[in-house]
């Protein structure tokens, strides 16, 4: 009898041990799946055709600026509206405007940068207005370059501060100086709960479009310098300013990444040539862009790694490089005289940027 009881106890212990081992293996498997999911890069993938897109009709967004409203400007093709960004190793959550507004209650989100930031700001406001079309909204614009879109019912504010270089430009023509190591306009940035920065589009301008006459760094002033070198110095100044002035426990900081243009068809076409985005109606298919990484994006990535509290890089460059079809082209503000291969149609590519911002903010 004693021997039988002992055998029963041994079997019971063995069963318990097997159960514990099964639980540990299950937990390890779940951890592995979770880890794989957390390491999924949502900025690497491809564009897939999706009949449920676009996320809104531009006709339902009464405040889209003319330069982005391709459909209203007469663009006849529709396929550019139908592409959804699909990461390679996971799925990204679909944009939910009502959820976004609920989570943004009592907070301020600010885009800081050039007209590509304006593009993204308009996209987000259209997405949110579409989610709650009956909610009252207000738009104010100031001469200083600050645009404010607010939803009083949610006490939520989405702002755009026009600041193409992030660093200071002082003086008046012909003695305007861009100071690569100075930021004096950052007090406004401190008021936001979420900051999304962008800069690059204006760095290559010359002639009449160049808004400065000299460049200063430290005690050295020159008429000009390699623009990518100047850009890196400015982005380093921005990174140091963020580290020294923004409480990373209270404010989330993103850098939008570099939005590419499509002015040279040789960047994506094996045939090469001197074409542009004009007449393009489909994306570059797949996950690779023939011209390779954008040099300015590589600068941003390098600088962010040196920050004490690194900003989150919204690495939208590759996904945007693949969208040679997404620009206003001749259906923008400039028409056939000045086709636009830099900005983006709305609805369009910036909506996917904001979908990824939504994922980064609330579901990562």
Residues 6+ apart with CB under 8 A from 202: 114, 164, 165, 209, 211
| Strand 83-87 versus strand 312-313 pairing type | unpaired
Closest CA to 95 of 55, 65, 59: 55
Residue 336: Cβ-neighbour burial (10 angstroms; 0-12, 13-18, 19+)? exposed
CA 333 vs CA 79, 244, 336: distances in Å = 21, 40, 9
Which entry of 129, 201, 294, 343 is annotated as an active-site residue?
343
Residue 20 phi, psi dihedral angles, 5° rounding: -60, -45
CB 197 within 8 A of CB 311: yes
Active-site annotation holds for 340: yes
CA 211 vs CA 56, 145, 178, 203, 258: distances in Å = 36, 15, 9, 10, 20
Describe the strand order of the beta sheet including 146-151 as a list of residue ranges.
Answer: 138-141, 146-151, 156-162, 108-113, 194-197, 252-255, 312-313
- Rounded CA-CA distance 120/118 in Å is 5
Active-site annotation holds for 287: no
Active-site annotation holds for 248: no
Which entry of 129, 340, 342, 351 is annotated as an active-site residue?
340
150: its two tokens? 């607010």
- Rounded CA-CA distance 92/358 in Å is 10
Which entry of 58, 115, 117, 276 is annotated as an active-site residue?
115
Beta-bridged to residue 196, according to DSSP, are 111, 254
- Rounded CA-CA distance 311/195 in Å is 10
Q: Give the residue numbers marked as catalytic.
A: 115, 340, 343
């Amino acid at each position: 009898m004693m021997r039988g009881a002992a055998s029963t106890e041994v079997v019971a212990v063995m069963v318990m041990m097997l159960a514990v081992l099964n639980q540990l293996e299950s937990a390890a498997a779940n951890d592995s799946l979770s880890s794989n999911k957390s390491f999924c890069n949502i900025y690497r993938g491809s564009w897939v055709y999706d009949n449920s897109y676009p996320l809104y009709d531009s006709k339902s967004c009464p405040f889209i600026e003319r330069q982005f409203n391709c459909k209203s400007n007469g663009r006849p093709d529709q396929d550019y509206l139908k592409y959804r960004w699909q990461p390679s190793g996971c799925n990204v959550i679909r944009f939910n405007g009502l959820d976004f507004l609920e989570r943004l209650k009592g907070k301020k989100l600010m885009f800081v940068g050039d007209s590509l930031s304006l593009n993204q700001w308009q996209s987000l406001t259209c997405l949110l207005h579409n989610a709650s079309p009956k909610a009252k909204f207000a738009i104010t614009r100031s001469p200083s370059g600050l645009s404010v879109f607010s939803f009083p019912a949610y006490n939520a504010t989405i702002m755009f501060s026009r600041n193409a270089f992030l660093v200071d430009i002082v003086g008046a023509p012909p003695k305007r100086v861009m100071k690569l190591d100075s930021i004096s306009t950052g007090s406004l940035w401190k008021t936001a709960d979420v900051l999304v920065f962008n800069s690059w589009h204006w760095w290559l301008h010359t002639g009449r479009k160049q808004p400065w006459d000299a460049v200063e760094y430290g005690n050295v002033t020159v008429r000009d310098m390699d623009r990518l070198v100047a850009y890196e110095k400015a982005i380093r100044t921005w990174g140091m300013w963020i580290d020294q002035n923004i409480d990373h426990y209270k404010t989330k900081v993103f850098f939008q990444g570099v939005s590419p243009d499509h002015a040279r068809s040789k960047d994506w076409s094996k045939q090469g040539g001197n074409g542009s985005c004009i007449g393009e109606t489909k994306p570059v298919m797949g996950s690779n862009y023939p011209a390779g990484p954008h040099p300015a994006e590589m600068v941003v990535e390098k600088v962010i790694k040196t920050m004490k509290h690194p900003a989150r890089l919204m690495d939208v460059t590759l996904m945007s490089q693949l969208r040679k079809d997404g620009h206003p082209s001749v259906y923008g503000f400039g028409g056939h005289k000045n086709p636009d291969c830099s900005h983006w149609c709305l609805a369009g590519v910036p909506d996917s940027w904001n979908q990824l911002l939504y994922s980064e903010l609330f579901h990562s």
